[in-house]
Amino acid sequence: MKKRFNPIKDKSSEIIEYLMASPDMPTDEALCFKIRLSVEEAVENVVRYAYEGGIGWLEAGTSLDKDSLVLTIELRDAGVPFNPLDREDPDITLSAEEREVGGLGIFLCKQMMDSLSYRYEDGNNILTMTKKISE
């Protein structure tokens, strides 16, 4: 399941709902909560920062490996090249006032999903998140 949204300005909710409505999504509420939180953070980052003024596209999709029961979510855009995984994880032992601003969303994605990977290919940022949906 894959869809291109163009332009993405003001479409965060639509993109998130599209991904969460995928037939690949698990039915377990706790698992869906973790996936949704990760999807929200990743989509918001693209919508806010990939393109000036949100004028650009985002291709969002899901797939499910039925043998291993691994859900894959992929976000692809042609915005400013940016690897969110290069950023150092925030020190969550510090108070909110002591911490640097930013980076908490990607940190949460790393905690909630089984894996995150980034690549820049053919002028596109590609963020891939995976989650095992059954034991």
The CATH code of the domain that includes 73 is 3.30.565.10
Local confidence band at 114 (pLDDT 50, 70, 90 cut-offs): very high
pLDDT digits (tens, 9 = 90+) for 24-67: 999 999 999 999 999 999 999 999 899 988 899 999 999 999 99
Q: Which domain holds residue 114?
A: 2-132
Handedness of CA 30, 34, 35, 40 (dihedral sign): positive
Instruction: Classify each residue of 90-129 as buried b or exposed e, where b means 16 or more C-beta atoms within 10 Å of its C-beta.
Output: beeeeeeeeeeeeeebbbbbbebbeebebeeeeeebebeb
Q: Is the pLDDT of residue 102 over 80?
A: no
Let me know: does 41 contact 105? Beta carbons within 8 Å: yes
Report the range of poorest mean pLDDT among 17-21, 51-55, 93-97. 93-97
Total tally of structural domains belonging to the chain: 1
